[in-house]
Chains A and B, each alone.
Chain A
Amino acid sequence: AQTVTQSQPEMSVQEAETVTLSCTYDTSESDYYLFWYKQPPSRQMILVIRQEAYKQQNATENRFSVNFQKAAKSFSLKISDSQLGDAAMYFCAYRVNNNAGNMLTFGGGTRLMVKP
């Protein structure tokens, strides 16, 4: 069974600084997707960034980038120039790429606090 682990229950960053959130996963599959979702206090799940396992290049979306280490099964999220609006729960998620459906396996989450 696939598992996703986020070892940092809480992280704190100063506004305008950079922070990295950790995620590791366990799978025997070779073709899969990894995601980072943001959950603000409104509880809405918002997709931050996505990485295909077959791509060696790390995904980037504006201030958000990932460090994908396939051999180490590590998928960290880097937030640059942190803003107050980045404060939220962040969830790492995994999905195998097959025809069985879009079921995601989520980590336990990291609460990010941004200090002004």
Chain B
Amino acid sequence: NAGVMQNPRHLVRRRGQEARLRCSPMKGHSHVYWYRQLPEEGLKFMVYLQKENIIDESGMPKERFSAEFPKEGPSILRIQQVVRGDSAAYFCASSPRSSGANVLTFGAGSRLTVL
């Protein structure tokens, strides 16, 4: 029973390039969350998605960042025209429902380095 799978684990991009991070939730989980962790800081919520729907994107930067969770395939976090400040670890988490006592299961994260 695979957990939350994220890839790539490490991604290096030059300023101005695009970064795509992928997340496959745990089997049976239909709710996906993306978090960002800047160096020496805690995780910050970015976006919450269900299949084909963005439920809450209150933590997403207004520009250059987008996320999707299509009917088939993994959830994608896309960062266009990356800048050095985008260097961070990006974590995906999933849960079977939106509320109640269920706990988020985290992936191992994708570390983005912008040169």
Query: Interface residues, chain A, CB within 8 Å of chain B?
Result: 4, 6, 33, 35, 37, 42-45, 47, 50, 52, 91, 97-109
Q: Which 5 A-B pairs have the closest CB atoms?
A: A106-B42, A45-B106, A101-B48, A99-B99, A106-B43
B86 CB, nearest partner CB in chain A, Å: 17
Verify if B2 is at the interface (C-beta below 8 Å from A): no
Contact in complex: B43, A102 (CB < 8 Å): no
Contact in complex: A52, B41 (CB < 8 Å): no
- Residues of the B chain whose Cβ atoms lie less than 8 Å from the Cβ of A37: 106
Contact in complex: A97, B56 (CB < 8 Å): no
Across the two chains, which residue of chain A brings its CB closest to B59? A103
B88 CB, nearest partner CB in chain A, Å: 11
Contact in complex: A104, B45 (CB < 8 Å): yes
Contact in complex: B109, A99 (CB < 8 Å): no
Contact in complex: B43, A104 (CB < 8 Å): yes
In whole angstroms, what is the CA distance A104 to B13 when docked?
A: 29
Contact in complex: B41, A108 (CB < 8 Å): yes
Across the two chains, which residue of chain A brings its CB closest to B104? A102
Contact in complex: B100, A97 (CB < 8 Å): yes
Q: What mask results when residues 5 to 40 of chain B are scored 1 for a CB within 8 Å of chain A, else 0?
A: 000000000000000000000000001010100001
Q: Known contacts A45-B106, A101-B31, A102-B33; decide if A107 and B42 are in contact (CB<8 Å).
A: yes
Across the two chains, which residue of chain A brings its CB closest to B95? A102
